[in-house]
Structure formats: structure tokens, C-alpha cells
């Protein structure tokens, strides 16, 4: 069983995201959080939008590889929201959050989470994609959400597990947890595969 195999590793979640911490804990994995300051999260402008999240997760992992020791396993992740060919990152302020939510209103967008699992011997990256369809959101809906929740720390300015997801998301195709920031089934499967081949 994966949880038994993981006992030989000190699992490190390299993320400041409270949602990722919650999700990894839900898998029953014992882990510690370790973060480095000022990791460069830039990417080449020519990189296809669907590859950005995985590219950044791998970039984060390479920053940690120099810091980890034998017997440690680090998980890095990055989530992007893609509407058409536009990447919606974290909004810079509440006006930017309102703009993003108006753009997402009544449309389907993609949420891509890139994940990298690294030890001193192995590195494995993958992406998960979820399609999310929003109903039409009124200005009142958007204002209520922006004023009562915390859209500024979320790609695309929303958390699907919050009020706006409950009332505004009409349909999703793919992993719900992926939209929250960590595709749990895929992560479990990839960890299992990595450790069986280690």
C-alpha cells in the first residue's frame, strides 16, 4: 500500500497554499511543509499555455532538489486558469479580481495543475486538466464574493470550494480537487508508480 511505502520517506509539501495542505492531509499522507523564498516562477512567452503549470512546478522542484537529502520526497505544484489563450493568474487587486470573474462569467475555462514529485534519485512531472463552466454571474454576485472572501490568493480569482463555486459553477469535467490545487487521484497514482519503480 502506498501509505506504507511512503513511511520510508520524509514527505515535504513545498507550498504555502492552505488548500494544498488540506488536500494532501486528506490523502492520509504524513508530511511537513517547507518553503523557499523567492523562487522564480517565470516561463518562456512562447511556451504553450497548457504546459505552463507543469513547467513552473518542475522549476520549483529543481530549486528544492539542492536542499533535500536522501530519504526525502518533495511535492511541488502550480495551478493556472486558462480562458481561451489567456492565462489568469492571481489578481493584483480587487478590481482585477472583479475583471477576471466578469471574464469567466457564462463561459467554460480550463484549470491546469502541474505537479512534480522529486527525490534525490528521481523526478516525475505531470499535469491534470479540468474544464469548469460558470453560469452568468451578476455584478452583485461578483461584488459579494470579492468583498466577503479572499480571491486575491487564487488563480482566476475564485475558489471552487467557496460560495461562488457553490452557486456559480454549472458543470465541471475532470477532478474537482484539481481545481482546488491538487489532483488527488492522479497524485496518489503517480506516487504509487514512482515508489514501485524506485
Catalytic residue positions, numbered: 78
67 in helix, strand or coil? Answer: coil
Looking at the DSSP bridge assignments, the partners of residue 65 are none
Bridge partner list, 11: 73
Q: Among positive and negative, which fits the CA dihedral 45, 47, 53, 55?
A: negative
Query: How are beta strands 123-134 and 86-88 bridged, if at all?
Result: unpaired
User: 139-148 vs 94-104: helix axis angle to the nearest 10?
Assistant: 140
The alpha carbons of the chain give a radius of gyration, in whole angstroms, of: 17
- The alpha carbon dihedral of 43, 85, 178, 181 has a sign of positive
Alpha-carbon span 112 to 52, nearest angstrom? 9
The H helix count followed by the E strand count for the chain is: 8, 7
Amino acid at each position: 500500500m502506498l501509505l506504507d511505502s511512503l513511511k520510508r520517506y520524509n514527505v515535504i509539501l513545498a507550498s504555502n497554499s492552505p488548500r494544498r495542505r488540506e488536500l494532501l492531509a486528506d490523502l492520509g499522507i504524513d508530511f511537513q511543509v517547507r518553503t523557499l523564498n523567492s523562487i522564480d516562477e517565470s516561463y518562456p512567452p512562447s511556451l504553450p499555455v497548457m504546459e505552463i503549470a507543469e513547467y513552473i512546478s518542475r522549476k520549483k522542484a529543481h530549486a528544492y532538489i539542492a536542499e533535500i537529502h536522501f530519504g526525502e520526497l518533495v511535492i511541488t505544484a502550480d495551478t493556472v486558469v486558462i480562458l481561451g489563450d489567456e492565462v489568469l493568474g492571481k489578481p493584483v487587486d480587487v478590481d482585477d479580481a472583479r475583471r477576471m470573474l466578469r471574464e469567466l462569467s457564462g463561459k467554460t475555462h480550463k484549470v491546469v495543475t502541474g505537479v512534480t514529485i522529486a527525490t534525490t534519485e528521481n523526478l516525475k512531472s505531470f499535469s491534470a486538466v479540468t474544464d469548469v463552466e460558470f453560469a452568468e454571474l451578476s455584478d452583485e454576485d461578483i461584488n459579494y464574493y470579492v468583498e466577503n472572501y479572499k480571491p486575491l490568493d487564487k488563480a482566476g480569482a475564485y475558489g471552487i470550494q467557496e460560495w461562488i463555486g457553490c452557486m456559480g459553477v454549472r458543470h465541471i469535467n475532470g477532478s474537482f480537487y484539481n481545481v482546488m490545487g491538487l489532483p488527488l487521484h492522479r497524485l496518489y497514482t503517480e506516487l504509487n508508480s514512482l515508489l514501485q519503480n524506485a
